[in-house]
Amino acid sequence: MNPFPLSPLKYRHSILLIDDEAAILDIMTMMLADEGYDLHTAGSAAEGLKILKESPNFSLIISDHMMPGMTGVQFFAQAREICPNALRVLLTGYTDMDAMIDAINSGGIHLYLTKPWQRDELLYSINQMLSKAELIIENRRLDELVKKQNEELLELNKNLEEKVRIKTRHLDQRADELKTSYEKTRLILSGTVLAMSKIVESRDPYTAGHEQQVSAIAGLIAQKMSLSNDQVEAIRVAGSLHDIGKIGVPAEILTKPGRLSWLEMEMIKTHTQNAYDILKTIEFPYPIAQIILQHHERIDGSGYPQGLQGEDILLAARIIGVADVLEAMSAHRPYRPALGMEAAMDEIVKNRGVLYDPNVVDACLGMNPSPLSRQKIYKVKVCSISLHVV
């Protein structure tokens, strides 16, 4: 087994050899010639310093100690200033250990070899030193790489935080603008709905307030049934517009005090389709036109205009249908006096599960006081509309 195995080196290293004896320089050059190094020689310390100043990128400097004019230790003291990263090897025949240690300290020498040297030992020592130097260089390179990447990450993070801050500020501003715009739209829609319901009421003074009352009662029932705020809003809006289609029915029929003929009844019935045709093109946030179209449908299919049954009728329409009956029966009409709150409640109880949704009827029964008296007490505001789609 080779006691001096050489490690493969990653780089081609430059080595400077200094000795005042040309024969020794020749021998060393011959020894190192086959090892792939970039070799340079100098016959004196002064020449060696000159070479270093011109090209300070040597990996290794090997110098004799006893040279005329300047010792190897003195040479290395200057050489380390010029080329601090180079490894320094002193060749000497000097045997005084204390003096040698002192010389090593003052010259910053990494290794000294005593003459005469063994070829294999010298090659091995040089190889090991350069191998360790490569490791140090590689570690330093990796350290610098990590440091650089950390700095880049920090910078990136800083930029990212700034971008997020700016984006958040913009989003906050946009949210404020949207909120303001939403409030304006809400007010406009509320005003429009109220104005539309007033137009219908103006044509039939006997039912003045009917739409607002139905809206309030339907809203209370929807709340009792634990529907979402958006659904309650939709039901209130639909309630306040549910008879808008009566605008297409002659006022004489609407206000006729006596019993209506079959034809007159049929004309009254057109108000659901009329309302749908008026409202279908308006972009409400909920299906208002559809709800109103169905508010006279009954769960047994006996209603109009389509004769829908059960859950084919929108829940909102089922609620408004009950609220409509409650309010209409309890109020005065040109063709009859008010039937009263009790009679109205009896009607929906009697037809619970037949004409009216049992859950809606149960919600009315579960309200104490009854929805009819509650809506009069609380004077529910019917036109507060949100823009969420139901």
Q: Tell me the residue nearest to Fe ion as measured from the CB.
A: 243
CA dihedral 180→185→187→193, nearest 10 degrees, is -170
Give the nearer residue to Fe ion in terms of CB position, either 19 or 243: 243
Given CA atoms 132, 133, 135, 140 in this order, what sign does their dihedral have?
positive
What's the min distance (Å) between Cβ of 288 and Fe ion?
14
What's the min distance (Å) between Cβ of 268 and Fe ion?
8
Which stretches of the chain bind Fe ion, using CB under 5 A?
243
Which tokens belong to 28?
Answer: 């060393």
Q: Which of 246, 269, 379, 381 is catalytic?
A: 246
Query: How many other CB atoms are found less than 10 A from the CB of residue 208?
Result: 14
Q: What is the spatial order of strands in the sheet that 111-114 belongs to?
A: 38-42, 14-18, 60-64, 87-92, 111-114
Give the nearer residue to Fe ion in terms of CB position, either 14 or 273: 273
Q: Looking at residue 352, what DSSP letter applies?
A: B
Which tokens belong to 177?
Answer: 């603008």
Pick left, alpha or beta for residue 340 (phi over 0 → left; psi -120 to 50 → alpha; otherwise beta): left
Give the nearer residue to Fe ion in terms of CB position, either 204 or 243: 243
Give the nearer residue to Fe ion in terms of CB position, either 243 or 347: 243
Residue 153 makes CB contacts below 8 A (sequence gap 6+) with none
Instruction: Determine whether 246 is an active site residue.
Output: yes
Which tokens belong to 33?
Answer: 């010639």
Give the nearer residue to Fe ion in terms of CB position, either 243 or 297: 243
Of the candidates 243, 245, 263, which has an alpha carbon nearest to the alpha carbon of residue 253?
263
Give the nearer residue to Fe ion in terms of CB position, either 233 or 243: 243
What's the min distance (Å) between Cβ of 217 and Fe ion?
14
What's the min distance (Å) between Cβ of 320 and Fe ion?
9
What's the min distance (Å) between Cβ of 225 and Fe ion?
21
Residue keyed to tokens 């603008």:
177
What's the min distance (Å) between Cβ of 224 and Fe ion?
22
Q: What is the DSSP string of 152-217?
A: HHHHHHHHHHHHHHHHHHHHHHHHHHHHHHHHHHHHHHHHHHHHHHHHHHHH-GGGTTHHHHHHHH
Which tokens belong to 300?
Answer: 């047994």
Q: Which residues are catalytic?
A: 246
